[in-house]
Amino acid sequence: MDTALEDRLPTCPLSLTINGKPYTLDVHPWTTLLDLLRSDLELTGTKKGCDHGQCGACTVLIDGQRMNACLKLAVTLEGAAITTVEGLGTPDEMHPVQKAFVEHDAFQCGYCTPGQICSTIGLLNEGHASTREDIRELMSGNLCRCGAYTNIADAIEEVLADRASYREAAE
């Protein structure tokens, strides 16, 4: 789209917090959270896969709940707290889920990994998973074309087994 034309199209004010940082933005009403994160804010850890909510590559946390960012219009998130993979940890201070994914080699190409990690944190926040079957079912919205499902489930089981350290990191 022509930049001059885009600048004349309507926008809506939006205030939200992303990875602990407050933002006040003017966004077009049709802008998805995914496009806001990747294009406008250059937070490219969240991946664009199918753009239809079917693959889970764009999974982020919205107020602690997992959500496909491609399905959420940014203007609906006034006052929300968004967490992307960039807001979880650093190479020196990894989030327990990130650490478990590394230790269990729960990725191959890595494209789905940010969404898998955010979905895992959402799954842990929900508190419904207690068995490997629960994990597989509750993570079924996140696809891995490389087939690292066994290692992903192993990583999640490890974090579930050590809930005390997970709760400390989450607080």
Torsion angles phi and psi, residue 115, rounded to 5: -65, -40
| C-alpha to C-alpha distance for 132 and 152, rounded to whole angstroms | 11
% pLDDT > 70, the chain: 91
Beta carbons of 18 and 63 less than 8 angstroms apart:
no
pLDDT per residue as tens digits for the range 37-83 = 999 999 999 999 999 999 999 999 999 999 999 999 999 999 999 99
Q: How far is CA 25 from CA 3, 145, 155, in A?
A: 17, 35, 37
Residue 1 has pLDDT above 60, yes or no: no
pTM of the predicted structure, to 2 decimals: 0.90
- Which pLDDT score, from 0 to 100, does residue 164 have? 57
- Indicate the pLDDT class of residue 165, thresholds 50, 70 and 90: low
Classified as helix, coil or strand, 86 is helix
Q: Which two tokens stand for residue 134?
A: 């629960």
Q: Which residues of 70-93 are buried (b: 16+ CB within 10 A; e: fewer)?
A: bebbbbebeebbbbbbbbbbeeee
Question: What are the strands of the beta sheet with 65-68, ordered from one edge?
Answer: 21-27, 12-18, 81-83, 59-62, 65-68
Domains belonging to the chain, first-starting first, are: 3-87 (3.10.20.30), 96-170 (1.10.150.120)
Q: Which two tokens stand for residue 138?
A: 């509750």
| C-alpha to C-alpha distance for 155 and 166, rounded to whole angstroms | 13
pLDDT per residue as tens digits for the range 86-100 = 999 999 999 999 999
